[in-house]
Structure 1
Amino acid sequence: MKSIFSILLFCFIISFSKAQTVQVIVSDKKTSMRGLSVVNDKVIWVSGSKGSVGKSIDGGDTFTWMTVKGFEKTDFRDIEAFDAKNAIIMGIDTPAYILKTKDGGETWDVVYENKTTGMFLDAMEFWNEMSGIVIGDPIDNKIFIARTFDGGKTWRALPDKYFPVAEKGEACFASSGSNVAALNLQEAVFITGGTHSRMFIRDKKIELPIIQGKETTGANSVGVKHVKKKTTVIIVGGDFTTKDSTTKNCCITTDGGNTFTVPVIAPHGYRSCVEFLNGDNWVTCGINGVDYSKDNGATWTWISKDGFNVCRKAKKGKAVFFAGNGKIGKLVQ
């Protein structure tokens, strides 16, 4: 009996030791960070309020912080980095800006400016180093979309007739730069929230089983897993005024939105970002903590009560980082 007990205890300890946790590596910044791009296990870029951009080239051990000159009041809610030298940041509000650096953040060039009344950019996504997309809130009930095909040097809005039509009160949340994602090599998928919460794939507009009906409700983030011609899409959100509510805050589709399932155990509150990691593993975060799933979103485990706005896995690597209000975290596995 002692032998069996010892074996079971040993197995429990080993299993527990391999549980995922989040280590806070930065906690003293007076910046709201919602933009995060992890190039590899060493190079991490973040962006946020008051024109702030941060960069690490040593896996998060140290960060270099900069304020973009002339944009000290701009909220950079999304960032896309390609290496330690090249990155693109998105300034959300009217006028909306997209800037690019080629020298590691020492200088930034304005590559897109839009002074249209009501313009509010929400998120960027890149298929590769050349091809990207940016989406913005509806203007005259039409969701704004622009594309780049030269690595972000130039951006061109779609013709007005191709802008998707939004319902009254429907918009996008600029909460983590992740409400648009590459669905495959050709297509993007994006999601909306507010009084209506839907998923858009080209001409398809798909109602989501996510809480909706108020300005504070709806889908916030979409993550995509594409393996051997099978695509899994997980969408998270909720109501950011009720951070602990698990009501209709996550849904999953494996057939392009024809059908949806919901988790048996949902993420433990409002979630602003979701990210596919590997195998059947996903991570999601929000203002009351971080959840981890090992079964493609069917069940979620609350692994940290440190709140974050955004989570990202290294494009070329295994590292996973988080960013939020004044702090940066790292997934420990």
Structure 2
Amino acid sequence: MRLILILLSSLSFAQTYKVINEEKNDVSYRSLAFESANTFVVSGSKNTIGKTTDGGKTFQWINPTVVQNRDFRDIEVLSKDHYLAMSIDAPAYLLLTKDGGKTWNKVYENKQKGVFLDALYVDHKSKKIYALGDPIESGKPFVLTSSLANPTQWEVAKTLMNQGLRLKNPKEAFFASSGSNLYADDKQVIIVSGGVASNVYRYTPKGGQLYGLDKSASATAGINGMAYDAVNNVGYMVGGDYTKPNDSNYNLYKFKINTNNQLQFIDSWKYPEGYKSGVTILSKDRVVVCGYSGVDYSSDGGHNWKNLTKDSYNTCIASPDKKSVILVGNKGKIGKVTF
């Protein structure tokens, strides 16, 4: 009986990977967001935004007409049929739809030289919305804030959690590879940087915190993405050097928030393969990472890793029911891992 129970347990965590869409093979996807277990939106280059209501079997292309030739590196679901999309560089835009993508409106426009937006984050508990961009003013991250109550109004943040904004190295910036180098809840805002230096900036009502991360000497290396599960108090930061997709150096950091309200980094036994740009958490011990080098899965808290596919993806997000992970990447590839 013991052997049967072990077999059933292992089968219950089997993973099935498949490509579910490649029709936009000239598009690079960087972001996706779920409205429900079967409804999600994807965004990418060439003004492309798509929506599925059947778990990815079919897509409706809801590309905005209010702007042209934009690269939408991040998209968020605010509520049913209510989406916020981010295009990255000058002119940078935030676009809002309230009718599932039938019509889009500009809610933010920035034509400043050097503007480059990297990530969006919506905290439904505090009802706040954040957008992170590369520094325009030397030594400071560029941060925009808004709210779910009125996402048409945006302000340039001077502080986060009443803490001043700064960068340790004026040449560090942020990677817009997966729209996930920003996390926020009602107790904290966390930003991870890369490039010349890779640092973690944590803003809390009780003070700001800075953590330096090891990286290779290349300016194309550092942390690219992050996920934190507040319920289970576990987080992961992923990266590496995107010009060296098979290099696994400094590609993962696991952390938690300790009793002193500090980030505590946790050692891993092994590391996923190669450069990673995205990460999503399924449960306390189950996590998926993705990047140019493929998709890897851990069922023991990131200590050991199983490669699910060598296919390249930029971003991975778990469905609300945690039964699947959707992956988006270059050449119009949209994939799915079912658990």
TM-score (norm 2): 0.88
Structure 1 residue 186, shift from structure 2 partner: 3.0
Aligned twin of 1:26: 21
Structure 1 residue 27, shift from structure 2 partner: 1.8
Structure-2 separation of matches of 1:18 and 1:232: 20
Aligned twin of 1:138: 135
Q: Partner of 1:67: helix, strand, or coil? A: coil
Q: Partner of 1:15: helix, strand, or coil? A: helix
Change in CA separation of 1:257 and 1:27 when aligned onto 2, cut-off 3 Å: farther
Change in CA separation of 1:13 and 1:63 when aligned onto 2, cut-off 3 Å: same
Structure-1 separation of matches of 2:65 and 2:20: 27
Aligned twin of 1:243: 245
Aligned twin of 1:69: 65
Aligned twin of 1:120: 116
| Root mean square deviation of aligned Cα | 2.4
Q: Is the 8 A contact 2:228 2:281 kept in 1?
A: yes
Aligned twin of 1:107: 103
Residues 96-117 of structure 1: CA deviation (Å, up to 9, x unaligned): 1101001111111111111221
Residues 226-258 of structure 1: CA deviation (Å, up to 9, x unaligned): 23xx62221110001111111111111223655
Unaligned runs of at least 5 residues, structure 2: none
Residues 2-24 of structure 1: CA deviation (Å, up to 9, x unaligned): xx9xx969966973674223211
Counterparts of 1:144-159 in structure 2, within 5 Å, are 144-149=142-147, 150-159=149-158
The alignment of Structure 1 onto Structure 2 pairs a total of residues equal to 324
Aligned twin of 2:275: 270
Residues 177-229 of structure 1: CA deviation (Å, up to 9, x unaligned): 111112x42322110001110111112121023x24322100001110223xx
Counterparts of 1:152-191 in structure 2, within 5 Å, are 152-159=151-158, 162-182=164-184, 184-191=185-192
Q: Partner of 2:175: helix, strand, or coil? A: coil
Counterparts of 1:252-271 in structure 2, within 5 Å, are 252-254=254-256, 255=258, 258-271=263-276
Q: Does 1:220 align with 2:218?
A: no
Structure 1 residue 287, shift from structure 2 partner: 1.2
TM-score (norm 1): 0.90
Q: Partner of 1:165: helix, strand, or coil? A: coil
Q: Is the 8 A contact 1:40 1:319 kept in 2?
A: no
Residues 121-154 of structure 1: CA deviation (Å, up to 9, x unaligned): 0001011183111110012221101111235221
Q: Does 1:312 align with 2:317?
A: yes
Structure-2 separation of matches of 1:250 and 1:77: 22
Identity %: 36
Aligned twin of 2:94: 98
Structure-2 separation of matches of 1:218 and 1:84: 35
Change in CA separation of 1:14 and 1:233 when aligned onto 2, cut-off 3 Å: closer
Structure 1 residue 262, shift from structure 2 partner: 3.5
Aligned twin of 1:196: 197
Change in CA separation of 1:151 and 1:292 when aligned onto 2, cut-off 3 Å: farther
Structure-2 separation of matches of 1:257 and 1:217: 25
Unaligned runs of at least 5 residues, structure 1: none
Q: Does 1:79 align with 2:83?
A: no
| Greater mean deviation of Cα atoms: 8-17 or 96-105 | 8-17
Aligned twin of 1:296: 301
Structure-1 separation of matches of 2:170 and 2:281: 32
Residues 272-313 of structure 1: CA deviation (Å, up to 9, x unaligned): 011111231111100121111112222221111121100112
Q: Is the 8 A contact 1:321 1:328 kept in 2?
A: yes
Structure 1 residue 317, shift from structure 2 partner: 5.7
Structure-2 separation of matches of 1:263 and 1:134: 31
Q: Partner of 2:10: helix, strand, or coil? A: helix
Structure-2 separation of matches of 1:273 and 1:300: 15
* 2:329 pairs with one of 317, 324, 330: 324
Structure-1 separation of matches of 2:318 and 2:181: 16
Structure 1 residue 90, shift from structure 2 partner: 0.3
Structure-2 separation of matches of 1:214 and 1:273: 20
Q: Is the 8 A contact 1:43 1:56 kept in 2?
A: yes
Structure-2 separation of matches of 1:17 and 1:187: 35
Q: Partner of 2:282: helix, strand, or coil? A: strand
Structure 1 residue 315, shift from structure 2 partner: 3.9
Structure-2 separation of matches of 1:258 and 1:111: 35
